[in-house]
Amino acid sequence: MQEWHPRHSPWLIAVGVMMATFMEVLDTSIANIALPHIGGNLSATPEEATWVLTSYLVANAIVLPTTGWLANHFGRKRVFLFCIAIFTLASALCGLAWSLPTLILARILQGVGGGAMVPIAQSIMLESFPTQKRGAAMAIFAQGVVVAPILGPTLGGWITDSYSWRWIFYINLPVGILALVMAQWLVEDPPYIQRNKSATIDYIGFGLLVLWLATLQILLDKGQEADWFSAEWVRWFTAVSGFSFLGFVWWEFNTDHPLVDLRVFNNRNFAVGLILMTTLAAILYGTTAQIPLFLQTLMGYPALQSGYALSPRGLAAFVTTALVGRLVGKVRGKWMLCFGFILLAVSSFMLAGVNLQVARINVIWPSVVNGIAISFIFVPLTVATMSQLNQRQIGNATGLYNLMRNLGGSIGIAFVTTMLARGAQGHQALMVGRLSPADPAFTQRLAAAKHQLSQHADPVTATHQAYAAVYSLLDQQAHLWAYVDNFFWFGAAALTTLPLIFLFKRVEPGH
């Protein structure tokens, strides 16, 4: 079959669709740092405020895998324009929200609009560029998908501190309107999408998909708050999620008109690529969540300053991605992936060396290495994953690919929150045995604290305060070791991917 080419320049199309992509991906992380302000302004508890994030992710996850069907049934351009319009309108409603329920409803609408936007943008770029230039196309795409979630907390912190949390949503309006105009002008439906319309809607598949992804996403976001399986609702949600997933897979393989074509997993490159993307997303989002927490809770950094510490990672990823796009097709993708994952492990092991006296530069440098590593992974990984698929399969494949990126990110964040809480408890239980009169270090530290505090209080009060001060120090150290453990596990996870890389079939330049 002859390859289709768009009427407009692929580079011009890339600019248009990347505006929408950057806007959508930015919104997955920009609201995180503003949650305390949102909760305070709308009279909500911190736990209630987190539904602002969860509602968006649930709606986003449900729409993502249906992207291929939506594009084939309604037309890709029409769906893309609809998504941009819905996302922009929902952003305005988020900014205007007068209560938490209205904000959550607006975020659900925003998630619905954003869900199909990124995979459609990715498929447009993959199909618009010739095969030998897909590396350059994915380099541009990566600059939005990789850099946006890194810059999100910094930009969100600055906007919230300087203006109001509502402006983190209002800034989408001019970008969305311009993206809508450019998409209307530049984007067109390939002939094979126009010919592939089906009136059949897979209601059963969609119902099972909604059950699976909604319960799974709520589990990942809220499980630690409920102490996981000690809560009855967690056990029920786990059972429902597991059975609905198995039912969804069975149904999609056996129905004549599947909502999601899972036969694409028969392609080895695609299956391996999804595993690697899930792992990469877990490490990327987990690290992005953990570094600001470490700087704020243990090092005493303000929210905006902790965001600044992550900014160099985004800059490094942005600059390196442009270079990597030129190397794809000239350097074996497997070696670039190996280099990227090894560098990712090195950056995680560097962060595992932090302590309570660490300087900011000792956090910035590993973050820069992390940004470089992600660039060397994302572009060749996307090219290798999609390399064996024909143009007709790309729309469906990009929906699944971005779904696993989102789910991987949710798994990474759930891992961080769970292991920080449980790791700190475990280390504290081990260390508390050292708080004994038989331990010279403890008795020396306690005596010094009592001496200092007795100058401002009576002996009994000074003794209580001294014990509290020493215990507080132990608690800090226990939490520090929990952070160190997580960084170490991220590094180990990066190294475990290396054997999988060699399962990729070789992608020849120009094929």
Do 473 and 392 lie in one domain? The reply is: no
* Cα(231)–Cα(218) distance, integer angstroms: 13
* Cα(356)–Cα(295) distance, integer angstroms: 10
Of 156, 190, 157, 186, which Cα lies nearest the Cα of 171? 156
In this predicted structure, the answer to whether residue 87 has a pLDDT above a threshold of 70 is yes
Give the model's confidence band at 259: pLDDT under 50 very low, under 70 low, under 90 confident, else very high. Answer: confident
Residue at a domain's end among 178, 201, 224: 201
**Percent of the chain, pLDDT > 70?**
85
Question: What's the Cα-to-Cα distance from 322 to each of 11, 144, 379, rounded to whole Å?
Answer: 14, 12, 10
Element (H, E) at 228: none
Do 271 and 183 lie in one domain? The reply is: no
List beta partners, residue 331: 328
The CATH number for 84's domain is: 1.20.1250.20
Give the model's confidence band at 284: pLDDT under 50 very low, under 70 low, under 90 confident, else very high. Answer: confident
Mean pLDDT of 195-217: 78
Of 80, 89, 95, which Cα lies nearest the Cα of 34? 95
List beta partners, residue 328: 331
Of 473, 470, 389, which Cα lies nearest the Cα of 437? 470
Q: What is the pTM of this model?
A: 0.80
Q: Beta-carbon neighbour count of residue 500 at 10 Å?
A: 16
Do 138 and 123 contact (CB within 8 A), yes or no? no
Give the model's confidence band at 510: pLDDT under 50 very low, under 70 low, under 90 confident, else very high. Answer: very low
Q: Looking at residue 76, what is its pLDDT? A: 80
Q: Looking at residue 341, what is its pLDDT? A: 95
Q: Between 134 and 274, whose confidence is greater?
A: 274
* Cα(332)–Cα(128) distance, integer angstroms: 23
State phi, psi for 375 to the nearest 5 degrees.
-65, -40
* Cα(310)–Cα(150) distance, integer angstroms: 7
In this predicted structure, the answer to whether residue 369 has a pLDDT above a threshold of 70 is yes
Mean pLDDT of 144-159: 74
Do 411 and 444 lie in one domain? The reply is: no
Q: Looking at residue 494, what is its pLDDT? A: 94
Residue at a domain's end among 177, 201, 225: 201
Of 88-92, 287-291, 444-448, the one with minimum mean pLDDT is: 444-448
Burial 440-454 (b: 16+ CB within 10 A, else e): eeeeebbeebbeebe
Question: Which stretches within 387-458 are classed as H helix?
Answer: 391-431, 440-453
In this predicted structure, the answer to whether residue 474 has a pLDDT above a threshold of 50 is yes
Do 340 and 373 contact (CB within 8 A), yes or no? yes
Mean pLDDT of 242-261: 88
Q: Looking at residue 323, what is its pLDDT? A: 83
- DSSP per-residue string spanning 183-198: HHHH----HHHHT---
For residue 331, give the 3-state DSSP assignment. strand
Do 278 and 186 lie in one domain? The reply is: no
Domain that holds residue 30: 1-201
Q: Looking at residue 53, what is its pLDDT? A: 76
Q: Looking at residue 202, what is its pLDDT? A: 79
Do 102 and 173 lie in one domain? The reply is: yes
**Percent of the chain, pLDDT > 90?**
18
Give the model's confidence band at 163: pLDDT under 50 very low, under 70 low, under 90 confident, else very high. Answer: confident
Q: Looking at residue 407, what is its pLDDT? A: 86
Do 366 and 456 lie in one domain? The reply is: no
Give the type of residue at 271: A
Mean pLDDT score across all residues of the chain: 81
In this predicted structure, the answer to whether residue 453 has a pLDDT above a threshold of 70 is no
User: Hey, what are 63's tokens?
Assistant: 């729409």
Do 232 and 246 lie in one domain? The reply is: yes
Mean pLDDT of 432-444: 66
Planar angle of CA 190, 192, 193, nearest 5 degrees: 70
Do 177 and 69 lie in one domain? The reply is: yes
Do 292 and 438 lie in one domain? The reply is: no
Mean pLDDT of 212-240: 87
- Spacing of C-alpha 493 from chain mean position: 16
Q: Between 464 and 507, whose confidence is greater?
A: 464
Residue position matching structure tokens 């609201």: 31
Sign of the C-alpha dihedral computed for residues 319, 323, 326 and 327 taken in this order: negative
* Cα(371)–Cα(109) distance, integer angstroms: 31
* Cα(148)–Cα(153) distance, integer angstroms: 9
User: Which residues, 6 or more positions from 309, have their beta carbon under 8 angstroms from its beta carbon?
Assistant: 291, 292, 295, 301, 360, 363, 364, 367
User: Hey, what are 255's tokens?
Assistant: 């129905």
Tally of domains within the chain: 4
Residue position matching structure tokens 């009169």: 437
* Cα(315)–Cα(135) distance, integer angstroms: 20
Do 63 and 158 contact (CB within 8 A), yes or no? no
Residue at a domain's end among 201, 228, 248: 201
Do 196 and 60 lie in one domain? The reply is: yes
Mean pLDDT of 165-176: 88
Q: Looking at residue 439, what is its pLDDT? A: 63
In this predicted structure, the answer to whether residue 252 has a pLDDT above a threshold of 60 is yes
* Cα(334)–Cα(497) distance, integer angstroms: 12
Residues making up the chain, counted from first to last? 511
- DSSP class of residue 328 equals B
Do 411 and 475 lie in one domain? The reply is: no
Do 362 and 436 lie in one domain? The reply is: no
- 18-60 pLDDT, tens digit per residue, is 888 888 877 777 776 677 778 778 877 766 777 777 788 788 8
In this predicted structure, the answer to whether residue 511 has a pLDDT above a threshold of 50 is no
Per-range mean pLDDT, top range of 69-83, 206-220, 480-494: 480-494
